Amino acid sequence: LQVTGDKVMIHIYQMNDTSWIGPYHEVNVKFGAELRGKCIGSYSPYLFLSSDVGVTHGREIHGQPKKLGNPSLEYQGDLIVGKLERNSIDVLTGTLPYKQHEAEISELSEIFPFSTNINLKAVDHIDGSPAIRQLTSRSLADVKVTECWRGPSTTELRPNAQAPIHRLPVLEMLDGFYWQAEFSLVPGEVLLDYLQEDK
């Protein structure tokens, strides 16, 4: 798996109607990645959800590094404020002016194709030996974007040993995006099975 580019996206989602799971919030930290000849998308080193069911499903089925946290997305006057709290510490705060400049979702996708998520699924046997070592991918399907806005944004990161997003320091802020959409979460696929490759 190869990193593509030098940009990191932080998505703060408000999932209003998720089948089986219900409403929840999610913070997804991702950067561009490619498995040459097979898949181009994004890799997530950090994922935090307010849903214990969502954490379990994402980790056990897809191998996503999900942890329980307290993400939020609020509208405070003319400002959109996204936060992540874990261990009673505000780990991340992002701000974006409320709906200032209309945009197209393709402007965000140009950074890297974020709608396909690539994950390392690693599960051990009871004795600690490797049971599963796979690169998996999962893409959003049936995406219908209803609105998209962009503008100057800010990001503040605070150290937390259990949520070390601060390891990816902010060197330069790019525009932020606010968008609403409907999409389907579909089953993914195994891109590479390391244990089969070794046989």
Point out the residues that are catalytic. Answer: 66
Would you say 135 and 119 are in contact if contact means Cβ atoms under 8 Å apart?
A: yes
Structure tokens at 82: 């996204």
> Exposure pattern of 183-198 as b/e (b: 16+ CB <10 Å)?
eebeebeebbeeeeee
DSSP conformation class of 59: I
Element holding 139 (H helix, E strand): strand 130-151
Query: How many angstroms separate the CA atoms of 179 and 177, rounded?
Result: 6
